[in-house]
Amino acid sequence: MDFLDRFAVPNPGPTIYASMVAIALTTIAIIIGLTYFKKWGYLWREWLTTVDHKRIGIMYLISAILMLFRGGVDAIMMRAQTAVPDNTLLGAQEYNEIFTTHGVVMIIFMAMAFIMALMNFVIPLQIGTRDVAFPRLNALSYWLYFAGAMLFNISFVVGGSPDSGWSSYFPLAGTDFSESVGTNYYMIALQISGIGTLITGINFITTILKMRAPGMSLMKMPMFTWSALITNLIIVFAFPVLTVALAMGTMDRLFATNFFTTENGGMDMLWANLFWVWGHPEVYILILPAFGIYSEIISTFARRNLYGYKSMVYSMIAISLLSFLVWVHHFFTMGQGALVNSIFSITTMAIAVPTGIKIFNWLFTLRKGSIVLTTPMLYSLGFIPIFTIGGVTGVMLGMASADYQYHNTMFLVAHFHLVIIPGVVFAMIAGLFYWWPKMFGFMLNERLGKWSFWFIAISVCLTFFPMFISGLDGQARRMYTYSESTGFGVWNMISFIGAIGLAIGFALIVYNIYYSVRYSPRNIPADPWNARSLEWATATPVPDYNFAILPEVKSTEAFWDSKIYGDKLFNKRIEPIHMPNNSGMPFIMGIIFFIWGFAFVFGLWILLVLSTIGIGICLALRSYEKDEGYYIPVDEIERVEKTGGKKK
């Protein structure tokens, strides 16, 4: 019994029991459903073992949407708890766990996954190639992400959730003050999915640098591809910092080392530094692909080429470099003195310059355009003003002396939500609507899409603007309650109402997906939006091999030019196409990594050693494996091409 006790949740409440039941029911339902419809084989063959970037992208997409709802439920609970003063809906401990998991889930498991989803699906198509450089590793990336996400999410019902904030500052996150295994989950789950992210980074850099269609020089790449390249470079240099920090944190918690403790020479400030040396670039890992998506969508629906292509590229490069030089702005108040703070204030505010350049370039892309208000375009147009407000408040936060007053308050919370939601979340929804027809062969409903936009755009403002005010009135962040006399009540109530509006908006998107699956017409053209880049040059649904003939490119908007000026994209003859084989190995490694992580969290050392050996064996098998892939013969390709991409 003692052995099992460790898996119990320390402070079980109704929410936790409810989720246990919900998880059990969902699992059973999935298993029964798969068995009943005899879909196990299909699931295994077509999805779990796939190495196709398109399918991996779709799996990321589904995971990201699930995580959006996990994080969203957390958010609604928090806003409900703080909606009125002295509320007792949630206890302090519950609230702390919820805001911690909200932050981690939203940033690491939702936003990152969404970005990965769109990069995976779009980038190889957009650069006119057949897959990524390392398809098998790509699948491994996904399954590592998935293992990390699952591990993190079971913490709620097995052993207890982390409760020291998504930034997990030590010594609070150390064993002295966080006794439950919650923070172990944080350390290990982030580590596992972080390795997956790093592998993606390596994979996409190689893909983009080496596999572009003939003629597509770097300066002819579509803007989303550019943003992905830069993002992945940031990943490769930022994520190892997180790896090290998490390793140290894990050792402090499990092996009683003194990296971040308050005794024996440990240094709590080292964690804060390492965390933000990764953490600030991380927010740009999220926003740069979003910028890329907006560039694509705005130029498509303004029916114009992207204004200032070169300066868009250079400003992204500038942002990526600066993003490594500003981390101290997350703790101006740590006492490093006026000089250090002044320097980091200046680097921080400097980021506003390239960001501003991008905003003006988008505005001038719209100018003289012919703006079509589709759903993706609405989200992109909504992004510009709201993000501007988020951005200028970032500049305000960057002023060290003033930040002494904003830091750790609702003002900060308002800032980062007003950059992340219009910046990242809008981009993801816009991208979802935009590329959906390419992914699934039908369009999402425009009417419902527009409704969701208005709900979400207005609700974001309603939710987060009041926080500027309550922050300036002294409301600290991460407080589970406050007293009536503070006067924060009104602002938090408005915020709660906004949060409900956001929930409705997201529910509308899900309903839209359901509705469109049922009613949307399937006979859509391959290029339904009249778009400009190569992903629209192939059939819908996209055949396994993407392009029967690799396109040849002469300009940044090759596909557009082929439509308008009749440039020929496909000039070669069809030849047999080499394809990689599916493999169950990445999935199996994901499972072993999950077990490995679980063993680590609970200090089950024998299991840990066994699963480590298991991972070693997988790697060895991979090294010995002779997998040359297979060729699709020409006649098969021709048959597929005739049927417009459909198999068989």
Partner 1 sequence: MKVDKSLPLEYGTEQNRLNILGFWVFIGAEIALFGTLFASYFTLINRTGNGPAGAEIFEIAPVMIETILLLTSSFTIGLAIHAMRMGKVKATITFFIITLLLGLGFLGIEIYDFIVFIHEGATLQTSGFTAILFLILGTHGAHVLVGIFWGIFIISQLFKHGLTPRTNNKAFIFSLYWHFLDVVWIFIFSFIFMKGML
Partner 2 sequence: MKLKTSFLIGMFIVVMVLTGCEPLLVLDPKGPQGRTTANVIMISIWTMAIVVIVVFAMYFYIVRKYLASRQSKDYVPPYIEGSVKLEIIWTAIPILIVAFLSVVTVISTYKVESVPEGYEEEPLVIYASSSNWKWHFSYPEQDIETVNYLFIPTNRPIEFKLYSFGPISSFWIPQLGGQKYAMADMVNTLNLAADVPGEYSGRNANFTGEGFAQQTFNVTAMSPKEFDKWIRDIKSTAETLTEEKFDELLQPGHLGQSTYKGTHLEFSPPPENHHSKEPLKDNQEEIKNQKIIKDDLSNDEDHSNMKH
**Is the separation of the CB atoms in 487 and 448 below 8 Å?**
no
Which among 280, 371, 350, 360 is positioned nearest to 312, based on CA atoms?
A: 360
**CA neighbours closer than 13 Å in the CB half-sphere of residue 632:** 22
Among positions 15, 93, 167, 206, the unique one binding partner 1 when judged by CB under 8 A? 206
Rounded Cα gap, residues 77 and 312, in angstroms: 40
**Smallest distance, partner 2 to C-beta of residue 237, A:** 25
* 329 counts as binding ligand HEM under rule CB under 6 A: yes
| Max CA separation in the chain (angstroms) | 78
Which among 136, 99, 249, 233 is positioned nearest to 184, based on CA atoms?
A: 249
The window from 136-144, 255-263, 396-404, 484-492 that contacts ligand HEM (CB under 6 A) reads 396-404
Q: For residues 356 and 644, which CB has a smaller minimum distance to partner 2 in the complex?
A: 356
Rounded Cα gap, residues 68 and 301, in angstroms: 27
Among positions 232, 299, 355, 562, the unique one binding ligand HEM when judged by CB under 6 A? 355
**Smallest distance, partner 1 to C-beta of residue 258, A:** 5
* 283 counts as binding ligand HEM under rule CB under 6 A: yes
When CB distances are held under 5 to 8 angstroms depending on the partner's kind, the choice from ligand HEM, Cu ion, partner 1, none that residue 251 binds is partner 1
| CB atoms closer than 10 angstroms to residue 599 | 19
Q: For residues 85 and 356, which CB has a smaller minimum distance to ligand HEM in the complex?
A: 356
Q: For residues 91 and 614, which CB has a smaller minimum distance to partner 2 in the complex?
A: 91
Among positions 412, 509, 531, 595, the unique one binding ligand HEM when judged by CB under 6 A? 412
When CB distances are held under 5 to 8 angstroms depending on the partner's kind, the choice from partner 2, ligand HEM, partner 1, none that residue 370 binds is partner 2
When CB distances are held under 5 to 8 angstroms depending on the partner's kind, the choice from partner 1, ligand HEM, partner 2, none that residue 419 binds is ligand HEM
When CB distances are held under 5 to 8 angstroms depending on the partner's kind, the choice from partner 2, partner 1, ligand HEM, none that residue 617 binds is none
How far are the Cα atoms of 266, 441, 442, 516 from residue 521, in angstroms, in the given order?
63, 9, 6, 8
SS (H, E, C) 472-525: HCCCECCCCCCCHHHCCHHHHHHHHHHHHHHHHHHHHHHHHHHHHHHHCCCCCC
Strand partners, 631: 578
| Size of site (CB under 6 A) for ligand HEM | 26
Structure tokens that stand for 18 in this block: 């409810």
Please confirm whether the linkage preceding 466 is cis (ω < 30° from 0).
no
| CB atoms closer than 10 angstroms to residue 641 | 15
| CB atoms closer than 10 angstroms to residue 190 | 26
Q: For residues 96 and 207, which CB has a smaller minimum distance to partner 1 in the complex?
A: 207
Rounded Cα gap, residues 400 and 411, in angstroms: 14
- Residue closest to ligand HEM (Cβ): 394
SS3 call for 533: coil
**Smallest distance, Cu ion to C-beta of residue 241, A:** 14
The window from 112-120, 151-159, 170-178, 389-397 that contacts ligand HEM (CB under 6 A) reads 389-397
Of residues 257-296, those binding partner 1 (CB under 8 A): 257-259, 261, 263-267, 270, 273-274, 277
**Smallest distance, Cu ion to C-beta of residue 259, A:** 14
Rounded Cα gap, residues 419 and 162, in angstroms: 25
When CB distances are held under 5 to 8 angstroms depending on the partner's kind, the choice from partner 2, ligand HEM, partner 1, none that residue 628 binds is partner 1
Amino acid in position 276: W
Q: Euclidean distance between the first and final Cα of the chain, in Å?
A: 56
Cα-based torsion angle of the residue sequence 617, 623, 625, 628 in order, rounded to the nearest 10 degrees: 150
Q: For residues 445 and 556, which CB has a smaller minimum distance to partner 2 in the complex?
A: 556
- Angle at which helices 426-440 and 53-82 cross, to 10°: 150
Q: For residues 23 and 395, which CB has a smaller minimum distance to partner 2 in the complex?
A: 395
Q: For residues 398 and 543, which CB has a smaller minimum distance to ligand HEM in the complex?
A: 398
**Is the separation of the CB atoms in 462 and 455 below 8 Å?**
no
C-alpha 488 chain-centroid distance: 32
Of residues 207-236, those binding partner 1 (CB under 8 A): 209-211, 236
The window from 34-42, 65-73, 198-206, 585-593 that contacts partner 1 (CB under 8 A) reads 198-206
**Smallest distance, ligand HEM to C-beta of residue 137, A:** 27
Among positions 57, 71, 201, 394, the unique one binding partner 1 when judged by CB under 8 A? 201
Q: For residues 404 and 605, which CB has a smaller minimum distance to partner 1 in the complex?
A: 605
Amino acid in position 561: D
* 391 counts as binding ligand HEM under rule CB under 6 A: yes
Among positions 403, 535, 544, 557, the unique one binding ligand HEM when judged by CB under 6 A? 403
What residue ranges bind Cu ion (CB under 5 A)? 280
How far are the Cα atoms of 316, 461, 491, 493 from residue 487, in angstroms, in the given order?
42, 20, 8, 11
When CB distances are held under 5 to 8 angstroms depending on the partner's kind, the choice from partner 1, ligand HEM, partner 2, none that residue 205 binds is partner 1
**Is the separation of the CB atoms in 61 and 594 below 8 Å?**
no
Among positions 238, 424, 577, 592, the unique one binding ligand HEM when judged by CB under 6 A? 424
C-alpha 106 chain-centroid distance: 8
The window from 172-180, 389-397, 521-529, 621-629 that contacts partner 1 (CB under 8 A) reads 621-629
| 8-state DSSP, 43 | I
Interface contacts to partner 1, rule CB under 8 A = 133-134, 198, 201-203, 205-206, 209-211, 236-241, 243-245, 247-248, 251, 255-259, 261, 263-267, 270, 273-274, 277, 578, 616, 620, 623-624, 626, 628
Interface contacts to ligand HEM, rule CB under 6 A = 167, 283, 286-287, 329-330, 348-349, 351-352, 355, 391, 394-395, 397-398, 403, 406-407, 412, 415-416, 419-420, 423-424
